[in-house]
Structure 1
Amino acid sequence: MREKPFLYVDGAGAYRVRVPALRTGGLGTTWAHGARPAGESRPLGRFHIVRPGAGAAGIQAALDRGRDLLLTPGVHHLDRTLRVTRPGTVVLGLGLATLVPDHGGTALSVADVDGVRLAGLLVDAGPVASPTLMEIGPPGARRRHAADPVSLHDVFFRIGGAGPGRAVRSLVVNSSDVIGDNLWLWRADHGDGVGWTVNTAGHGLIVNGDDVTMYGLFVEHYQRHQTLWRGERGRTYFFQNELPYDPPRQAAWREGRHRGYPAYEVAAGVTRHEAWGLGSYCYFTADPRVVADRAFAVPRRPGVRLHHLVTVSLGGKGVIRHVVNGTGGPSDARRNVAHVAEYP
């Protein structure tokens, strides 16, 4: 685990950024009882201060010069992808600094390098559909980063809600050993620019890298896969999901022979995966006759284990037929809540 970088004032009254170190076997926060987390302290002069209105070209030039980024509160419009290629780069947003890829591309991409920290960011899809909003590592990334992984802390994604927005995928993780710490990926179910054909978004999180770990993963309302995990030895500690509220009919929301898409799917070829504390809810307000055949879909083999799962039909609007594969359930108008303690 690694804690989030944070801005602070040192004893001399100077602003600095604390960059906590990776730790293993820990429990809870390091700072709860006044302890200083292990790691390094970076002077503010090492950071390029990004204010709303700054052009993407200038931001990229700062990254290319080896600067870290500190984004001030506000909306930062991008006309090109920000590319982080230097190991150990810190990109820290204050006040939910918001990145909008107006060009319909990727807002932020990280090379297959060690130790990058991304924290305190909201990526807001623009009106031109983006294939991917954020990408960690290029497709086919093969390097290992166990000693110094990329980590994401309080990084959020939004498709619609503040206005029309579209994206095929919100977050794609191709690098291995990546850590996610409190990620929320949301296709808006209310607000401005909302509708089945308005704020279109197929996939929330796609994990292709191995040994990726998520602590507190929230993925909601995407039109196809909420979370699709293809990498080996993935781990998730707490997962919350709401399926899309607005499929207009069953035919518009199905995966092959299955009605609907699972909230959390581990690909058929994966041999090892483990997750704890998973919940998925349905609330099919556009057509309460819509059914999701299963909330969780995983290969049935000894190395793939899920612990403490729950499904809920909120207000009895819609059905989740099974909790995981063909086990557990249903959650429907008669029995809203269904549990599976252990699978398999």
Structure 2
Amino acid sequence: MRHQHPRPGRTGRRAAALTAGLLLTGALGAGPAAAAPPQPPTSDLGRNVTVFDPSMPTAEIQARVDEVYAQQVANEFGTERYALLFRPGTYGTDAEPLQVKVGYYTEVAGLGASPDDVTINGKVEVYNRCRPNADGSPNCIALDNFWRTVSNLHIAVNAAGQDGCRSTANFFAVSQASPMRRVHVTGGTLSLMDYCTDGPQFASGGFMADTVAGDVVNGSQQQWLTRNSSIGSWSNGVWNQVFSGVEGAPSEEGFPTPPYTVLDETPLSREKPWLWVDERGRYQVRVPAAHRGTRGASWEQDLAEGRTLPLSSFYVATPRSAVKDINTALARGSNLLLTPGVYDVDRTIAVKRAGTVVLGLGHATLTAVGGAVPMTVADVPGVVVAGVTLDAGTVESPVLLQVGKEKGNQGRAHRGTDDPTTLSDVFFRVGGPHVGKVDTALEVNSDDVLVDHTWVWRGDHGVEDFSGGFLGDDERWAVNTGRQGAVVNGDDVTATGLFVEHFQRVNTTWNGERGTVVLYQNELPYDPPTQADWTQPDGTLGYPGYRVADSVRTHRLYGGGSYVYNRNDPSIVTENGFEAPTTPGVQLHHLLTVNLGAGTIRHVVEGVGGQVDDTNTGTPQYVADFPVR
């Protein structure tokens, strides 16, 4: 994701130490910590986890979070990973607020049972990233503000000491793979656009769930999913804003002006597990239950329903842990906690037991080595994988994450379960920090799976130097190879927030019955060298961004977009952004295609919908419903 799109009008509003077994540590180094009351021993959460206590001086906490941010603000493809965790209590004062800025591969989270157990009197923000143009002119955008997480805390907005433009809002200018979950924002606006930094200020997000806020400024966010939240107002839309189970959501009446898609209830939801500290100072992991037909934030419900697992039930892994030791622990009934870092995985981490929880902290990253499959999940119910990134390695892997095997479990399907296997904030990357190769990034074969926010990305840019830069990068097409982003073969699979980009054939293929997708975002690959490289075997020009197999009889998609930017050869044509059978049970609601500056998509879906090309750059073509009613 690197394109820029037309800018909308602006809105008028602008530990102490830890316990005795866990030190306040980090790869950047840590100064002496103030004494905290004695606590029971705890397990080590990793060298890049910092746990704060409200007894610590604000200045000391501020210095630490600033230190991490200074390293991570531009560290887009680095190997450092951090988690900044806050014990229950209040941080910052009216006179001395705590203002946390969140950079790459940084998780900022409260350790309370409820978001209101941890209050940040100040801000937790993401600003535009500024990289001057060749002529020295400013270029401050949020298009590449990926890979960061904010969750489980209360932000009492306090801008004391900041400039006047920032006085009334908490800024969260992010793009893909940057979720906000279980957050309570009071005392100011939540702005998803950083309108205070020199422009052009483009943003391409994003995902927010289980959050309560007042006024929300969408600004330049081209697409965004808000799920199971409560908001006071929403300012505007650009191309594709989806609301599912949101109290205070705007109406979709008049679509596509504004471009809102609204579901009164979320068909299937399960909130992401979180780490918390109980009243005796012990670490626990709360695993919420799954629910159907939900609306609004689930804070109280998630404390009453679901499971609480002690940290002692987890194998706590570091990047130095051997996969054989991880698999032995899993086989013996342990859950898995991945502490922050990059893990070189030369054999598969195999999750075989129903109900296993795999939780990553600080965007823990599994990198395939030697063509390995980094992780598989057996065809069993109730597994939860959350907060994990999977990277393709330099030798081609057949898949990065496989959920179930085709005809797994001797062909007996798990249908109608109340405990679906769930992937929450699981991200995929092919290329970027290094050459990557994979056939299929995500393959879902099991029935009854919930995918709650994923970004499946074949890199359109990275540290590799192809032809002197990312423009004219014919080499990338041949070297960073990823044929399919997501393939869903299981029945009754639901995805809320499915982002899949730049793969070399069909980005998402849905073969299973009764699938449901709430917000789909896609960019076709930027780098096909020629039309011949981007033509299907039957002669059809180009591959769709989303395909429902001809055999499927029932499928639902709400709010889907596919964008084109053929920067190597702007003459390349794609016939359809979406492909689906024309049958009453397959219903695609609110679709669009957009030209980002180069290339052509002739139709939105199956010959329906207008063409996007360089004559209407940035102006979507919409289809309200397919089949056309």
Band of TM-score, shorter chain: over 0.9
Partner of 1:46: 313
One-letter amino acid matched to 2:331: D
Question: Is this contact kept in 1: 2:388–2:425, CA < 8 A?
Answer: yes
In structure 2, distance between residues paired with 1:329 and 1:290: 17
Please say if 1:290 is aligned against 2:572.
yes
Question: Is this contact kept in 1: 2:383–2:420, CA < 8 A?
Answer: yes
**Per the alignment, in what secondary structure is the counterpart of residue 285 of structure 1?**
coil
Please say if 1:212 is aligned against 2:493.
yes
Q: 1:37, CA displacement in angstroms?
A: 5.3
In structure 1, distance between residues paired with 2:533 and 2:546: 19
One-letter amino acid matched to 1:179: L
| Correspondence for 1:143 among 390, 413, 418 | 413
One-letter amino acid matched to 1:340: V
Question: Is this contact kept in 2: 1:21–1:37, CA < 8 A?
Answer: no
Partner of 1:303: 585
| Correspondence for 2:289 among 6, 17, 21 | 21
Say what the alpha-carbon RMSD is for the aligned residues.
1.2
Please say if 1:313 is aligned against 2:580.
no
One-letter amino acid matched to 1:334: T
One-letter amino acid matched to 2:382: G
In structure 1, distance between residues paired with 2:301 and 2:622: 39
| Correspondence for 2:426 among 151, 155, 168 | 155
Q: Quick one: structure 1 residues 321 and 102, their matched pair in 2 at CA, closer, same or farther if it must change by over 3 Å? A: same
Q: 1:148, CA displacement in angstroms?
A: 1.5
* Larger of the two Rg values belongs to structure: 2
In structure 2, distance between residues paired with 1:270 and 1:312: 27
| Correspondence for 2:368 among 101, 105, 120 | 101
Question: Is this contact kept in 2: 1:164–1:192, CA < 8 A?
Answer: no
Q: 1:35, CA displacement in angstroms?
A: 6.8
Partner of 1:254: 535
In structure 1, distance between residues paired with 2:301 and 2:296: 13
Q: What are the Cα deviations for residues 221-268 of structure 1, in whole angstroms up to 9, with x where unaligned? A: 000010000000100000000000000000001112211100000001
Q: What are the Cα deviations for residues 6-45 of structure 1, in whole angstroms up to 9, with x where unaligned? A: 10111111110000011111113312x7973521110000
Q: What are the Cα deviations for residues 99-137 of structure 1, in whole angstroms up to 9, with x where unaligned? A: 012021211111111100000000000111001111000
Please say if 1:266 is aligned against 2:548.
yes
Q: What are the ranges of 5 or more consecutive residues in structure 1 without an aligned counterpart? A: none
**Per the alignment, in what secondary structure is the counterpart of residue 197 of structure 1?**
helix
In structure 2, distance between residues paired with 1:5 and 1:305: 32
In structure 2, distance between residues paired with 1:103 and 1:118: 23
In structure 2, distance between residues paired with 1:224 and 1:57: 34
Partner of 1:338: 621
**Per the alignment, in what secondary structure is the counterpart of residue 314 of structure 1?**
strand
Q: 1:335, CA displacement in angstroms?
A: 2.4
One-letter amino acid matched to 1:192: V
Q: Which structure has the highest strand share of the two?
A: 1
In structure 1, distance between residues paired with 2:286 and 2:370: 33
Partner of 1:230: 511
The list of structure 1 runs, each at least 4 consecutive aligned residues, that deviate by more than 6 angstroms after superposition, is none
- Mapping 1:71-150, distance limit 5 Å: 71-141=338-408, 142-145=412-415, 146-150=417-421
Question: Is this contact kept in 2: 1:16–1:41, CA < 8 A?
Answer: yes
One-letter amino acid matched to 1:298: A
Question: Is this contact kept in 1: 2:495–2:518, CA < 8 A?
Answer: yes
One-letter amino acid matched to 2:484: H
Amino-acid identity (%): 50
One-letter amino acid matched to 1:230: N
TM-score (norm 2): 0.54
Q: Quick one: structure 1 residues 164 and 39, their matched pair in 2 at CA, closer, same or farther if it must change by over 3 Å? A: same
In structure 2, distance between residues paired with 1:232 and 1:28: 28
Q: 1:287, CA displacement in angstroms?
A: 0.3
Q: Quick one: structure 1 residues 115 and 35, their matched pair in 2 at CA, closer, same or farther if it must change by over 3 Å? A: closer
Q: What are the Cα deviations for residues 129-181 of structure 1, in whole angstroms up to 9, with x where unaligned? A: 00111100011234214222100000000000000110000000000010000
Partner of 1:9: 277
In structure 1, distance between residues paired with 2:381 and 2:453: 20
One-letter amino acid matched to 1:271: R
One-letter amino acid matched to 1:170: A
TM-score (norm 1): 0.97
One-letter amino acid matched to 1:216: G
Question: Is this contact kept in 1: 2:498–2:517, CA < 8 A?
Answer: yes
Q: Quick one: structure 1 residues 35 and 126, their matched pair in 2 at CA, closer, same or farther if it must change by over 3 Å? A: closer
In structure 2, distance between residues paired with 1:270 and 1:313: 29
In the comparison of the two structures, how many residue pairs are matched? 342
**Per the alignment, in what secondary structure is the counterpart of residue 95 of structure 1?**
strand
